[in-house]
């Protein structure tokens, strides 16, 4: 890793300037657009973010990254969060597959996969959950059998975000029987255009068709696409996952702050909505406190990672905290915008559309990446070490 | 600087000192015990006998004090010895050495003729009283009539004091008072974190000991999840304090405010939760959870947490400085 810039905040200032110049038009999420940004436009923006140094910040230069530290990553993410920027199309590639490949991949795999994640040539999806293995991931049944041609995969995945638009799938499959639970699991980087893969979109409550079911029927996967040896890949991946659960979308608390800023600013554009806002001022102050405390979770984590500490089960703390804090904000925001007058002006209509979308999308936040109940179980069992029997 | 020292180094000493303080009824003896261990002057400058350490070194001491239900104006001693160190070094030295005990009347001003919320106000020799112009005066308590402020406050024994006319004594400027109040937020939050940690530990210990319906309480998911949420609250408080002390630049005032207001809200809620886990026993005087609840509520009152949330609400809706939304017209 190279050393940090001498002037603290310089990296963030660079990111802010770049965003002010490049986050324009229909890329902005704080306005209703007649022509929403297309997938290609979003991918182009994300690739440009990488070239400007706003993505792949901590990845080694040899693999297309910028070779900096989590400190610069945090600085840039503060600015990304404060801006009304779209969520990354390739967050699975950048925040899940990429770090796992860096941890367990061969040198050839790193050179093959990693740069294309950052240039957006390869968008990745995550093939972990199954109809019978959601929160209970170890119950997964998708099988991988070794043959003379490599591996043959059969099974079904679900909740695979963005699968229909992805080039690669980070696939978790089983080499043994279901009863083996955490043993005999193997990780693959599967090209999504491999014959035998069938993708079906699922409409989610916001009306989007982002989620998918993915069916694998006698899909042949080359040995070269296996990440780590069976078992080994998964155990390394779980370590990466515990970090990712805690640190992905590091911009989150600043994004929540930005959403709150937007709501308040919009309400101040009309005396009638300002009067409504006043009635919620104390509730919003509580939300603002929670957003600030969430920054404490994030920054503590960054310091711990920089100090080389293990994250382990404590990654459940920020996940639980941010998901519930955001839902609380979203519920209040939805109630406020529902009271906007029928002849509301454009700034209010923009805010209303955004807050309604946030409200619906936030319902998923206490479900994905380990439900609230799973996080509470992890905290009780693995941090508090509470006994179940004497 | 201070690379050879870790705030954790103070944990063990602080715990032992709090136990020793709990074993005596004498306020002056507690002052000596705290002073001998160097705990009163941990953040005061070396020139007045302090250790001159950064505020993060006060955190484990305050956590131990909160957990140990310390009946002494420790927060006030730390704040006053730092605030008085330059202008009035003799008084600061006397506070650091435990020779004299001072407290602060957190509620009311000199002009009111009556001030309140002064921890151990009946036993302290000196009392800082705020003035309406933002300054403050450290006066002697001799001759002032003191009575306990509040039923909800056993260990701090906060006092209400009737003032007899204009006060004389050592003066603190409005700037010094503002700094003192600002620093108080973090010290109180750390104190509350310690109190919360003790409540959570007591609840976890009981849940892993008590059997109902043939099973340990800690085997029931409803209680496991309750305790997990309380741990989340505790760790959130601690991270808030750590962040507020690590100087996040222009974000510092909000970081301090959030650390304090978060602790003031979450701490008492964790004590309430522990009382619930204890069931009927939790409602008894004998189980000390109510003392933690009282202690934390008293700190929230002294720090005027409820009013501060209202003030934050006012500031919040008065507009945002986020440049991304500056094109939206502001008509209010």
Whether residue A275 is predicted with pLDDT greater than 60 in this model: the reply is: yes
Instruction: Measure in Å the smallest separation between the Cα of A71 and chain B Cα atoms.
Output: 13
pLDDT at A43 (0 to 100): 98
Nearest CA in chain B to A85: B324
The residues of chain A that CATH labels 1.20.140.10 are 249-383
Residues of A labelled as active-site residues: 244
Taking the C-alpha atoms of residue A17 and residue A210, their distance in angstroms, rounded to an integer, is 31
Question: Each residue of B278-312: pLDDT tens digit?
Answer: 999 999 999 999 999 999 999 999 999 999 999 99
8 Å CB contact of B320 and A281: no
pLDDT at B75 (0 to 100): 98
Query: By three-state DSSP, how is residue A119 classified?
Result: helix
pLDDT at B2 (0 to 100): 65
Confidence of residue B248 (pLDDT cuts 50, 70, 90): low
SS3 content of chain B, % helix, strand, coil (to 5): 55, 10, 35
Question: Each residue of B45-98: pLDDT tens digit?
Answer: 999 999 999 999 999 999 999 999 999 999 999 999 999 999 999 999 999 999
Which comes out higher in pLDDT, residue B154 or A283?
A283
Question: Each residue of B9-57: pLDDT tens digit?
Answer: 889 999 999 999 999 999 999 999 999 999 999 999 999 999 999 999 9
Whether residue A3 is predicted with pLDDT greater than 50 in this model: the reply is: no
**Angle CA(A18)–CA(A68)–CA(A235) in degrees, nearest 5?**
120
pLDDT at A302 (0 to 100): 87
Question: Quick one: what percent of chain B has pLDDT higher than 90?
Answer: 89
8 Å CB contact of B323 and A20: yes
Residue A133 has what DSSP assignment? B
Q: Are B178 and B130 in contact (CB under 8 A)?
A: no
Whether residue A281 is predicted with pLDDT greater than 80 in this model: the reply is: yes
Instruction: Measure in Å the smallest separation between the Cα of A383 and chain B Cα atoms.
Output: 9
Taking the C-alpha atoms of residue A97 and residue A56, their distance in angstroms, rounded to an integer, is 13
The ipTM is: 0.95
Taking the C-alpha atoms of residue A315 and residue A238, their distance in angstroms, rounded to an integer, is 12
Instruction: Tell me the chain B residues in contact with residue A257 when contact means C-beta distances shorter than 8 Å.
Output: 322
Q: Are B188 and A336 in contact (CB under 8 A)?
A: no
| Residue from the list B257, B313, B331 with its beta carbon closest to the beta carbon of A269 | B331
For A124-229, give the CATH class: mainly beta
CA atoms in the 13 A half-sphere facing the CB of B231: 28
Question: Quick one: what percent of chain A has pLDDT higher than 90?
Answer: 79
pLDDT at B68 (0 to 100): 97
pLDDT at B195 (0 to 100): 98
Query: By three-state DSSP, how is residue A182 classified?
Result: coil
8 Å CB contact of B317 and A274: yes
8 Å CB contact of B246 and A269: no
Q: What average pLDDT score do residues A25-33 get?
A: 96
Confidence of residue B148 (pLDDT cuts 50, 70, 90): confident
- Give yes or no for A82 touching B (CB within 8 A): yes
Backbone angles phi, psi at A147, to 5 degrees: -130, 180
Q: What average pLDDT score do residues A258-285 get?
A: 98
Instruction: Tell me the chain B residues in contact with residue A268 when contact means C-beta distances shorter than 8 Å.
Output: 317, 319, 328, 330-332
Question: Each residue of A204-254: pLDDT tens digit?
Answer: 998 889 899 999 999 999 999 999 988 777 787 777 777 777 778 899 999
Q: What average pLDDT score do residues A271-291 get?
A: 98
Taking the C-alpha atoms of residue B294 and residue A321, their distance in angstroms, rounded to an integer, is 27
Taking the C-alpha atoms of residue B295 and residue A4, their distance in angstroms, rounded to an integer, is 44
B147: which strand partners? Answer: B160
| Residue from the list B251, B316, B330 with its beta carbon closest to the beta carbon of A281 | B316
Taking the C-alpha atoms of residue B294 and residue A282, their distance in angstroms, rounded to an integer, is 24
Instruction: Tell me the chain B residues in contact with residue A290 when contact means C-beta distances shorter than 8 Å.
Output: 262
Instruction: Measure in Å the smallest separation between the Cα of B275 and chain A Cα atoms.
Output: 18
Helix B27-36 × helix B9-22 angle, to 10°: 160
As a whole number, the mean pLDDT across chain A is 93
Query: By three-state DSSP, how is residue B220 classified?
Result: coil
Which comes out higher in pLDDT, residue B243 or B157?
B243
As a whole number, the mean pLDDT across chain B is 95
Whether residue B173 is predicted with pLDDT greater than 90 in this model: the reply is: yes
C-alpha separations of B15 from A107, B37, B55, B240, B290 in Å: 52, 11, 18, 22, 20
8 Å CB contact of B262 and A290: yes
pLDDT at A5 (0 to 100): 43
Nearest CA in chain B to A303: B243
Q: Are B194 and B62 in contact (CB under 8 A)?
A: yes
Question: Each residue of A339-358: pLDDT tens digit?
Answer: 999 999 999 999 999 999 99
| Residue from the list A261, A299, A384 with its beta carbon closest to the beta carbon of B320 | A261
| Residue from the list B227, B261, B330 with its beta carbon closest to the beta carbon of A380 | B227
Nearest CA in chain B to A270: B331
Best residue in A18, A25, A292 to probe B by mutation, most B CBs within 10 Å? A292
CATH H-level superfamily of A249-383: Butyryl-CoA Dehydrogenase, subunit A, domain 3 (1.20.140.10)
The residues of chain A that CATH labels 2.40.110.10 are 124-229
Query: By three-state DSSP, how is residue A153 classified?
Result: strand
Whether residue A2 is predicted with pLDDT greater than 70 in this model: the reply is: no
8 Å CB contact of A292 and B242: no
Nearest CA in chain B to A385: B204
Taking the C-alpha atoms of residue B260 and residue B266, their distance in angstroms, rounded to an integer, is 10
Best residue in A251, A255, A285 to probe B by mutation, most B CBs within 10 Å? A285
Radius of gyration of chain A (CA): 22
Confidence of residue A9 (pLDDT cuts 50, 70, 90): confident
8 Å CB contact of A288 and B316: yes
8 Å CB contact of B228 and A292: no
pLDDT at B153 (0 to 100): 67
Q: Are A15 and A73 in contact (CB under 8 A)?
A: no
8 Å CB contact of A387 and B313: no
C-alpha separations of A312 from A91, A98, A181, A370, A378 in Å: 21, 19, 20, 14, 10
- Give yes or no for A317 touching B (CB within 8 A): yes
Backbone angles phi, psi at B208, to 5 degrees: -95, 10
Confidence of residue A370 (pLDDT cuts 50, 70, 90): confident
């Amino acid at each position: 890793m190279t050393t940090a810039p001498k002037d603290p905040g310089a990296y963030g200032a660079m990111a802010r300037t770049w965003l002010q110049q490049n986050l324009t038009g229909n890329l902005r999420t704080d306005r209703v657009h007649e022509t929403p940004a297309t997938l290609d436009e979003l991918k182009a923006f994300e690739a440009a973010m990488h070239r400007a140094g706003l993505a792949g910040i901590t990845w080694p230069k040899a693999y297309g990254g910028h070779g900096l530290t989590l400190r610069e990553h945090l600085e840039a993410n503060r600015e990304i969060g404060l801006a009304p920027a779209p969520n990354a199309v390739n967050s699975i590639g950048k925040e899940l597959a990429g770090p796992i490949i860096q941890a367990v991949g061969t040198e050839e795999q790193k050179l093959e996969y990693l740069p294309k994640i950052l240039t957006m040539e390869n968008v990745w999806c995550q093939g972990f959950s199954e109809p019978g293995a959601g929160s209970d991931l170890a119950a997964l049944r998708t099988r991988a059998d070794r043959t003379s041609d490599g591996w043959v995969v059969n099974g079904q995945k679900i909740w695979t975000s963005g699968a229909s638009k992805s080039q690669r799938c980070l696939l978790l499959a089983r080499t043994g029987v279901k009863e083996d639970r955490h043993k005999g699991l193997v990780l693959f980087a599967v090209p999504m255009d491999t014959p035998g893969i069938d993708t079906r979109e699922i409409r989610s409550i916001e009306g989007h068709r982002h989620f998918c079911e993915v069916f694998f029927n006698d899909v042949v996967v080359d040995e070269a696409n296996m990440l780590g040896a069976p078992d080994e890949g998964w155990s390394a991946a779980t370590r990466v996952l515990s970090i990712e659960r805690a640190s992905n979308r590091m911009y989150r608390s600043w994004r929540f702050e930005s959403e709150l800023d937007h709501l308040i600013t919009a309400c101040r554009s009309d005396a009638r909505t300002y009067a409504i806002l006043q009635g919620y001022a104390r509730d919003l102050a509580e939300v603002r406190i929670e957003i600030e405390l969430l920054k404490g979770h994030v920054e503590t984590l960054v310091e711990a990672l920089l100090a080389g500490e293990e994250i382990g089960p404590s990654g459940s703390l920020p996940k639980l905290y941010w998901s519930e804090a955001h839902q609380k904000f979203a519920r209040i925001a939805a109630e406020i915008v529902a009271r906007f007058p029928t002849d509301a002006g454009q700034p209010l209509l923009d805010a209303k559309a955004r807050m309604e979308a946030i409200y619906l999308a936030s319902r998923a936040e206490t479900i994905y990446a380990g439900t609230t109940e799973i996080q509470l179980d992890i905290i009780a069992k693995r941090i508090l070490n509470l006994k179940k029997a004497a | 600087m201070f690379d050879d020292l870790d705030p954790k180094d103070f944990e063990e000493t602080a715990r032992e000192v709090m136990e020793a303080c709990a074993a005596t009824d004498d306020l002056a003896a507690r002052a000596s015990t705290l002073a001998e261990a160097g705990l009163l002057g941990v953040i005061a400058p070396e020139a007045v006998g302090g250790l001159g350490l950064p505020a993060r070194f006060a955190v484990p001491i305050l956590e131990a004090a909160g957990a140990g239900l310390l009946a002494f104006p420790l927060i006030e001693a730390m704040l006053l010895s730092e605030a008085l160190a330059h202008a009035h070094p003799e008084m600061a030295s006397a506070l650091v050495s435990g020779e004299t005990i001072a407290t602060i009347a957190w509620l009311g001003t000199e002009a009111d003729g009556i001030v309140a919320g002064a921890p151990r106000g009946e036993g302290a020799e000196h009392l800082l009283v705020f003035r309406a112009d933002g300054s403050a005066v450290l006066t002697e308590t001799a001759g002032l009539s003191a009575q306990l402020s509040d039923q909800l406050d056993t260990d701090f024994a906060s006092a209400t004091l009737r003032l007899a006319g204009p006060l004389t004594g050592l003066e603190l400027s409005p700037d010094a008072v503002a700094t003192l109040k600002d620093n108080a937020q973090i010290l109180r939050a750390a104190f509350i974190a310690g109190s919360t940690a003790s409540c959570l530990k007591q609840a976890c210990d009981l849940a892993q000991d008590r059997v109902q319906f043939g099973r340990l309480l800690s085997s029931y998911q409803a209680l496991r999840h309750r305790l997990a949420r309380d741990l989340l609250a505790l760790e959130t408080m601690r991270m808030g304090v750590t962040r507020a002390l690590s100087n996040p630049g222009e974000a510092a005032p909000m970081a301090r405010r959030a650390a304090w207001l978060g602790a003031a809200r979450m701490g008492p809620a964790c004590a309430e939760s522990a009382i619930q886990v204890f069931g009927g026993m939790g409602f008894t005087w004998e189980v000390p959870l109510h003392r933690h609840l009282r202690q934390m509520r008293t700190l929230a009152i002294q720090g005027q947490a409820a009013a501060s949330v209202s003030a934050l609400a006012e500031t919040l809706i008065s507009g945002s400085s986020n440049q991304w939304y500056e094109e939206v017209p502001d008509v209010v």
